[in-house]
Amino acid sequence: MTFPLSPVDPDLDLVLERVIDVPADLVWKVWTTPEHLVHWFVPKPWTVTACEMDLRPGGVFSTTMRSPEGEEFPNSGCYLEVVPGERLIFTDTLLPGFRPAPAPFFTAGLFLTPQGDSTLYRAVAVHGDSAARQKHEEMGFHEGWGTVVGQMVDYIKAM
Amino acid sequence: MTFPLSPVDPDLDLVLERVIDVPADLVWKVWTTPEHLVHWFVPKPWTVTACEMDLRPGGVFSTTMRSPEGEEFPNSGCYLEVVPGERLIFTDTLLPGFRPAPAPFFTAGLFLTPQGDSTLYRAVAVHGDSAARQKHEEMGFHEGWGTVVGQMVDYIKAM
C-alpha cells in the first residue's frame, strides 16, 4: 500500500490515519503550496516563519518553526517521490540535491485516498531504529500530527 | 549538469571523469545487471559475492564485497533516480523503502554521455561534510573507482 515507502514496521514506524471531510485535491494543495502550509503545519501557538518547496525528487522541502518564546527551528530535507493528489514522500536524511544531512531522523510519507468528498489521510513516519521511533513518539508525534490535521481541515474549510 | 544531484562542491565531493572507448548503452547494462556487475565492481582480487538490484527509486541496491582474506562486507542502499542509459543516482543514507540507514556515508551519481562509440563517464560521490569526503579519499576513492572503471571497460570489451 505504501510502496515505494517501506512497509510499516510497528517497532520502527509511526502512523496517523484518519478520514477527514475535505477533498483530497485540497489536502494536496495545502501540503504543496508554502502560502497555504504555513497556516496549519505546526500546532498553534507555534508558527511557521519560512517554507520552501521544490516539488520534485531531490528538491528542497524546508520549514522554519518558531516557538511561542520566539526561538526558531529550521528543518531542511528533500522530496523523494511526488505523485500529485496521491502520494508525497520526503526525508530529512538527505538535503536538497540528495546530499547526506547532518542530523538524519526520519522519512515521511503522506498518502491520500479520495472517499467521495472526504479523504482517507494516512501519514507515516519511518525511522532507522526503535530509539528514533520512541524519541519521535515522546516528542508528541500522535498529538502533534493529529493536532495539525485538525488545523489543516479547519483551514481548508475556511479557504 | 548533475541535477537532481547537488552541484559538485570541491570541499565535500569527489569526482571521477573519463572518456572510455565503450558505448554508453553497454556501460548502463553492466551497471544495472547483477550478473554483469559482480565481474568488475570491486578492485581485484576483491570479489563481489552477492548483488541485488530493484532499479527504481526506493528500490534496493546492495552488494557484498569479499576481501582476499575472505572477510565479507555487505553494503545496502537504494536508488534515488534511474534514467536509463543516462543517469543513475543511489545512496547508502537510505535503505530500500527510503528507511534511514544505520551508517549513512554518501550519495553517488553516475552520468553517461555518449560520444560516438565512446562514453563520457562521470561518477560523483556526494558527502555531508568534509570529514566524510576526506575519509572516502583516504579509503582510496580515486584509485579504487579508477581501477574498477578499467576493469569494467575490459569486461565490456570481452562480452
Which residues does residue A18 pair with via DSSP β-bridges, in sequence order?
A121
Q: Which residues of B57-95 are buried (b: 16+ CB within 10 A; e: fewer)?
A: bbbbbbbbbbeeeeeeeeebbbbbbbeeeebbbbbbbbb
Residue A21, pLDDT above cutoff 70: yes
Write down the pLDDT at residue A70. Answer: 97
Mean pLDDT of all residues belonging to chain B: 96
Question: How confident is the model over B63-102, as pLDDT tens digits?
Answer: 999 999 999 999 999 999 999 999 999 999 999 999 999 9
The ipTM (two decimal places) reads 0.95
Per the structure, the count of domains in chain A is 1
Q: Does B10 touch chain A (CB under 8 A)?
A: no
User: Does A4 fall in a domain?
Assistant: no
Task: Let me know if residue A5 belongs to a domain.
Answer: no
Residue B31 confidence (pLDDT): 98
Q: What is the DSSP string of B55-119?
A: -STT-EEEEEEE-TTS-EEEEEEEEEEEETTTEEEEESSEEGGGEEPSS--EEEEEEEEEETTEE
The pLDDT value recorded for residue B1 is 57
Q: For position A1, what pLDDT does the model report?
A: 57
Residue A8 lies in a domain: no
What is the reported pLDDT for A3?
Answer: 81
Which amino acid is residue A157, in one-letter code? Answer: K
A25-62 pLDDT, tens digit per residue, is 999 999 999 999 999 999 999 999 999 999 999 999 99
pLDDT at position A16, please? 97
Residue A152 lies in a domain: yes
Residue B20 sits in a domain whose CATH number is 3.30.530.20
What average pLDDT does this structure show over A77-92? 98
- When scoring A99, A124, A133 by the number of chain B Cβ atoms within 10 A, the one with the most, hence best to mutate, is A99
Q: Tell whether B3 is covered by a domain.
A: no
* Rg value, chain B, Cα: 15
Range of the domain at B81: 13-158
* Whether A104 and B98 lie within 8 Å, measured CB to CB: no
Could you give the maximum distance between any two Cα atoms of chain A, in Å? 42
d(CA A51, CA A47): 11
Work out how many CB contacts closer than 8 A connect A with B. Answer: 108
Query: What confidence score (pLDDT) does residue A2 get?
Result: 73
Residue A3 lies in a domain: no
- Residues A93-128: tens digit of each pLDDT: 999 999 999 999 999 999 999 999 999 999 999 999
Each residue of A22-58: b (16+ CB within 10 Å) or e?
Answer: bbbebbbbbbbeeebbbbbbbbeebebeebebeeebb
Mean pLDDT of chain A: 96
Output helix, strand, coil percentages for chain A, rounded to the nearest 5: 25, 40, 35
Give the model confidence (pLDDT) of A137-150 as tens digits: 999 999 999 999 99
Rounded distance between C-alpha atoms, residue B151 and residue B39, angstroms: 8
Residue B130 to residue B138: CA distance in whole angstroms: 12
Question: In degrees, to the nearest 5, what angle opens at C-alpha A157 toward C-alphas A155 and A158?
Answer: 65
Hunting for cell 533516480 — which residue is that? B81
Alpha carbon distance A12, A130 (integer Å): 5
**B133 within domain boundaries:** yes
DSSP, res B36: H
Report residue A71 as a C-alpha cell.
526561538
Cβ distance B98 to A107 less than 8 Å, yes or no, reads yes
Interface of A with B in 61-100 (CB under 8 A): 80-81, 89, 91, 93-100
Judged against a pLDDT cut of 70, whether residue B151 lies above it is answered with yes
Interchain CB distance below 8 Å, A98 and B89: yes
pLDDT-derived band at B2 (thresholds 50, 70, 90) equals confident
CA distance B127 to B13: 6
**pLDDT score, position B13:** 97
Q: Does residue B4 sit within a domain?
A: no
Distance, CA of A123 to CA of A14 (rounded, Å): 8
Residues B42 and B152 sit within 8 Å (Cβ to Cβ): no
